Structure 1
Amino acid sequence: MTEIVDYELYDVPPRWLFLELETSDGLVGWGEPVVEGRSKTVAAAVEELLDNYLLGRDPNRIEDHWQAMYRGGFYRGGPILMSAIAGIDQALWDIKGKRFGAPVHELLGGRARDRIRVYQWIGGDRPADVGEAAAEQVEAGFSALKMNATPEIRRVDSPAAVEAAVERLRSVREAVGPEVEIGVDFHGRVTKPMAKRLVAALEPHEPMFVEEPVLPQHNDALAEIASHTTTPIATGERMFSRWDYKEVFEDGTVDVIQPDLSHAGGITEVKKIAAMAEAYDVALAPHCPLGPVALASCIQVDACSPNALIQEQSLNIHYNETSDVLDYLADPSVFEYEDGFVDVLDEPGLGIDLDEEYIEAQSEEPVDWHNPIWRHDDGSVAEW
């Protein structure tokens, strides 16, 4: 019987963690198990799962392994455990695809599309100069963009704060016209009263969606927020399993879900979440401000999910100050964006070939990324 015999973890810049999983017959699979700013914590969880359970087992039994890793612990869920499972799951699917000489989407029922639309980030954490940046990205070939709605914002803020958010979106819309989609990310920074005001104020400029208008622990407020706008509501990057999504599907106020393939249990779990969403007429737009393994995993699920809408990707995102997605690939052309789309990956497994020498060299560099701690003008902690 083929067994999982070894693994290696690589903490690499700008803020990513790669897992290399090896089998007794020489196959290698890659995963990206990381919580941004908590890579060392997730690495410990990966080691615990592999050392205590997966080493020595048959790599082909992916569903069984997923169930054992999730249900084998008395305490379940949450970002750390689900991200550890996600990266291991990605690596197992990579191995299985390579064993059968097929891309992962072929093993999940085959492609439902030939390519998937992608969007490009503009504006940074505290959005600025977004009109000019938007025009540049459209000139580069993107037909969809995403920007943060606001910097830090008070629990109940001034009309000027609302107008500043409106002006940013207006400047982008005027720069790119009505043909370009613009996602507006509230980033969980906004409280319910301000979210109600902002969604109404932004609507005349027709955003593609408003993302994470409130933190997921306040998802019970989404229905009231949605009642103030016809703009689609998107959420899900901080939701980690199909059980987390169950209530928003039943509630009916979310139009686009954004599970993260490196946080929400990997390919196995996100494919199930996507199928649940399809039953509720909800679109899929996976969250992915991460590296090439996470992006490849997203594209494999997008390929075989009829309700996939658009794909986030992190090329030139403001977090990637030292290394970028393409730097870690032996063949960067697999993520070539044309007319705002990327082709479905069709090589075996996840469909990418990583540059192992570069990964090893980069893993020697110090990596200590943490998101900033923002504060309001009165000294209290603000949501980032």
Structure 2
Amino acid sequence: MKTDKNLTISDVRVSVSCPGRNFVTVKIVTECGIYGVGDATVNGREMAVATYLQDHVAPCLIGRDAHQIEDIWQYLYKGVYWRKGPINMASIGGVDMALWDIKGKAAGLPVYELLGGRSRKAVGVYAHATGNTVDDTLDRAAALLEQGFKAVRLQTAVPGLDGSYGVLGDKKDYFQLQNDRPLPPELPWSTRKYMNSIEELFVEARARFGKEVELLHDVHSRLTPIEAARLGKMLEPFDLLFLEDAVAAENQDSYRIVRDHTTTPLAIGEIYNTIWDCKDMIQNQWIDYIRTAATHAGGITALRRIADFAALFHVRTAPHGAPDLSPICHAAQAHVDLWAPNFGIQEYVGFGTDASNEVFSYDMSVKEGMIHVGDSPGLGVDFDEDAAAKYPYNRSYLPVTRLEDGTLWSW
């Protein structure tokens, strides 16, 4: 791409702020004044990635041509002996998003045009409905359907357990779960209680909403492979869009066992950091949806590579969309979603709060259950450093789960 603008990188700034949630934001500035922004947040380890960026990555970027996205990506990945890992890959992801943002601004085009253009008019999403009881969850799902959403993930508290994944009770966020102790809150888990109660949620959901609504559920890695296989088989009559994170993510071969026993579609990948983490599951077609996030898997460059590889094996994309990803990541994923021919669905829990909307502005909107991306050059997102300074970092952790006998379990 030819341009008369000097896109030599002159400054790299890393900000950690907490406008509701902690975010690590990368801002790369070029000599001509064009800048780009990226999201490098690793929830609960924000300062580790910020230090890595400031002390190790930023000095390597000064003086480089911001147009050379692929070479910079390879330099940051292959150029260190210690490859992969969440801190390294989130750092690369933040830098990569910022470089794509710069390239789009220099070209005067939105990033999805640089990727090859739209494959669809908008990005289909699924929303979250959670509650302390089945009726509470379904009432919240009904409200989302009335707003125009066509797909809803259902989570409800497990009877007999004081706390369940996705259900915060009277707490609005994880900061409140910690109370006055800035340590990970601990939640109990019982596989038997969960398995004895989960079917009712989907029996009632189908009875209330019929067969046209897309329903999803997240196990959050709580089960063994054979337990997950049993759950998948149990839920087959309810025709889920997918069952997410049924088994812990490290052992890819576990999904062969689940796949052999159920036709319920399977999704995984939100904590994966590279294509290598999901290679076997994709090429063996043990999963149906890959859920890697732009921030945690190395940015737009890596997400596009994973999508292309997955397409060869009939696996669709469904990027992670949790609130610990900033609007920059949500925008980056929306651009990839618009382009990816094998896009499936995008997780959506909102782009931000009133506080985060002071810090981030974005050219995206949600109508009738779809994300509509504007035609602003680059990612269409901006970051207000002065506003961010009003919201200092607030140490927070995700919860820890233990079995009822005290054994540490997957959260």
Q: Distance in 1 between matches of 2:349 and 2:29?
A: 28
Tell me how far 1:274 sits from its aligned partner. Answer: 0.3
Match of 1:302 among 334, 337, 354: 337
State the AA in 2 paired with 1:378: D
Instruction: Please name the residue that 1:239 is paired with.
Output: 272
Deviations 1:82-115 (A, max 9, x none): 1110011000110111011111111111111120
1:371 aligned to 2:378? Answer: no
Assess if the C-alpha contact under 8 Å between 2:37 and 2:101 holds in 1. Answer: yes
Other-structure match for 2:311: 278
- Using the TM superposition, name which of 334-343 and 252-261 deviates more: 334-343
For 1:42, the equivalent position in structure 2 comes to 49
After superposition, the Cα gap between the structure-2 partners of 1:367 and 1:169, relative to the gap in structure 1 and judged at 3 Å, is farther
Change (3 A) 1:35 1:125: farther
Identify the match of residue 255 of structure 1 among 288, 291, 312.
288
Displacement of 1:325 after TM fit? 5.8
**CA gap 1:170/1:327 in 2 versus in 1, 3 angstroms:** farther
After superposition, the Cα gap between the structure-2 partners of 1:110 and 1:228, relative to the gap in structure 1 and judged at 3 Å, is same
Q: Which amino acid aligns with 2:316?
A: A
TM-superposed CA distance for 1:67, in Å, is 0.3
Counterpart residue number, 2:370:
341
- Relative to structure 1, the CA distance from residue 81 to residue 299 in structure 2 (aligned partners, 3 Å threshold; closer, same or farther) is same
Distance between the aligned counterparts of 1:372 and 1:9, measured in 2? 27
- 1:32 aligns with 39
Question: What is the aligned partner in structure 2 of residue 96 from structure 1?
Answer: 103
Give, as a single letter, the amino acid of the residue that structure 2 aligns with 1:50.
V
Offset at residue 25 of structure 1 (A): 0.8
When residues 278 and 269 of structure 1 are mapped into structure 2, their CA distance, relative to the original with a 3 A threshold, is same
CA gap of 1:325–1:295, structure 2 versus 1, over 3 A, is farther
- Corresponding residue of 1:311: 346
1:72 aligns with 2:79: yes
Q: 1:125 to 1:278 in 2, by over 3 A?
A: farther
Cα gap change, 1:36 to 1:283, in 2 (>3 Å): same
Secondary structure at the counterpart of residue 253 of structure 2: helix
Unaligned segments of structure 1, at least 5 residues: none
Contact 1:291/1:314 (8 A) holds in 2: no
Contact 1:49 1:69 in 2 (8 A): no
Whole-angstrom CA distance in 2 between matches of 1:125 and 1:239: 30
Q: Which residue of 1 aligns with 2:328?
A: 293
Q: Structure 1 residue 132 and structure 2 residue 134: aligned? A: no
Instruction: Give the alignment partner of residue 7 of structure 1, picking from 8, 12, 17.
Output: 12
CA distance in 2, matches of 1:242, 1:64: 18
Work out the percentage of aligned pairs sharing the same amino acid.
35
Cα distance in 1 for partners of 2:395, 2:213 equals 36
115-124 vs 95-104, greater mean Cα deviation: 115-124
Offset from partner CA, 1:128-162 (integer Å, 9 cap, x none) = 831111111111221111234763544xx43x431
Equivalent-residue separation in structure 2 for 1:78 and 1:236 (angstroms): 14
Q: Which residue of 1 aligns with 2:116?
A: 109
Per the TM alignment, residue 177 of structure 1 is displaced from its structure 2 partner at its CA by 2.5
Deviations 1:34-53 (A, max 9, x none): 11111111111212343331
1:372 maps to a residue whose letter is P
RMSD: 2.2
**Structure 2 segments unaligned to the other structure (5+ residues):** 1-5, 159-163, 165-187
Number of residues of Structure 1 aligned to a counterpart in Structure 2: 373
User: Is 1:358 aligned with 2:401?
Assistant: no
Which amino acid is 1:175 matched to? R
Distance 2:150 2:384 in 1: 30
Q: Tell me: CA distance 1:127–1:49, structure 2 relative to 1, closer, same or farther (3 Å).
A: farther
What code does the residue aligned with 2:337 have?
D
After superposition, the Cα gap between the structure-2 partners of 1:48 and 1:71, relative to the gap in structure 1 and judged at 3 Å, is farther
Residues 17-74 of structure 1: CA deviation (Å, up to 9, x unaligned): 2112111111111100011111111111212343331112111100000000000011
TM-score, normalised on structure 2? 0.85
Q: Give the TM-score normalised by the residue count of structure 1.
A: 0.91
State whether residues 225 and 247 of structure 2, in contact with CA within 8 Å, keep that contact through their aligned partners in structure 1.
yes
Q: Which residue of 2 aligns with 1:58?
A: 65
Q: Deviation per CA, 1:232-288, whole angstroms, max 9, x where unpaired?
A: 111111221122222112221111111110000100011011000111111111112
Residues 127 and 22 of structure 1, relative CA distance in 2, 3 Å threshold: farther
Q: Which deviates further from its counterpart, 340-349 or 59-68?
A: 340-349
